[in-house]
Structure 1
Amino acid sequence: MLDEFKKFALKGNVVDLAVGVIIGAAFSQIVTSLVADVVMPIIGFITGGLDFSNYFFQLTGEPAPTYAAAKAAGATIGYGQFLTVALNFMIVAWILFLAVRGINRLRRAEEAKPPQVAEVPREQKLLEEIRDLLAARSAPPPPMV
């Protein structure tokens, strides 16, 4: 059973998937930082200083000044946080769309190229001609009808 597991774990697809997950996790942190530290402050500036991360509904009825305080009090719906996460998703989806689109263009360009035919060396051409001449000379004559 251990050998079977080794074969499974070391297959190319499993290793590729593991690398993809690790890169995806790192990429997710980059996008989260981009949204939280670049995009949302710009949107907040355009909308007059609004901070989406502090948009919430407090279900317990107790007022709270920030989302963190409201969350600590319990029963809070943080729709501003949801908007931020949804924006993260849209940015990731857009970047992945552009990446897949670029890869597909490269694949189509490679498929459209005619196959490269290697040039036969001069010596090989001469040897093939000699072979063909010898084969024609040693062939029996055609039968007479």
Structure 2
Amino acid sequence: MLKEFRSFIARGNVLDLAVGVIIGASFGTITKSLTDDLIMPVIGAIFGGFDFSSYFIRLGDVPANYTGSLSNYAALKAAGVPLFGYGEFITVVINFVILAFMVFLLVRFVNRAIAVVEKEKAEGTAAPAPDPEDIKLLREIRDALVNRPAA
């Protein structure tokens, strides 16, 4: 069983998947920063608030011992207040759309690069064009002169 597991791990697909997961996690972090730090503040400014992810509707009572702000989504959530956090959901959806679009562009680029390489490979393996008649004639003349007995 250990040998089978070792051969499974050594296959290229598993290693490619591991690299993809690691790069994907980093890519997700970059996308989250792009969304949270650049895009959402602009959208929030357009729609009247600078922290779009803090838009919510309180669905229950605030505990009596709560001393924080009633407009702080994270603090209310940590205190156990039931919240309908539509702003956070919208942020996550926008984050997903941006990530999906970036992956689409990456896959599109890779597919085009592969197509170019395959086209060049196909053109490189094509049979050479036959020699024109004048080249054949010149070769025959050359060969005749080379094989002519010396005078």
Q: TM-score, normalised by structure 1?
A: 0.73
Judge conservation of contact 2:56–2:85 (CA < 8 Å) in 1. yes
Amino acid at match of 1:69: A
Aligned-residue identity in percent: 51
RMSD: 2.1
Judge conservation of contact 2:52–2:87 (CA < 8 Å) in 1. yes
Show the 5 A alignment for 1:53-132: 53-62=53-62, 64-74=70-80, 75-113=82-120, 114-117=122-125
Unaligned segments of structure 1, at least 5 residues: 120-145
Judge conservation of contact 2:43–2:52 (CA < 8 Å) in 1. no
Unaligned segments of structure 2, at least 5 residues: 63-68, 129-151
Tell me how far 1:50 sits from its aligned partner: 4.1
Amino acid at match of 2:37: D
CA deviation profile, 1:81-129 (whole Å, cap 9, x unmatched) = 111110110000111111111122222223333432599xxxxxxxxxx
CA distance in 2, matches of 1:71, 1:104: 44
Amino acid at match of 1:115: E
Q: TM-score, normalised by structure 2?
A: 0.70
Match of 1:47 in 2: 47
Q: How many residues align?
A: 119
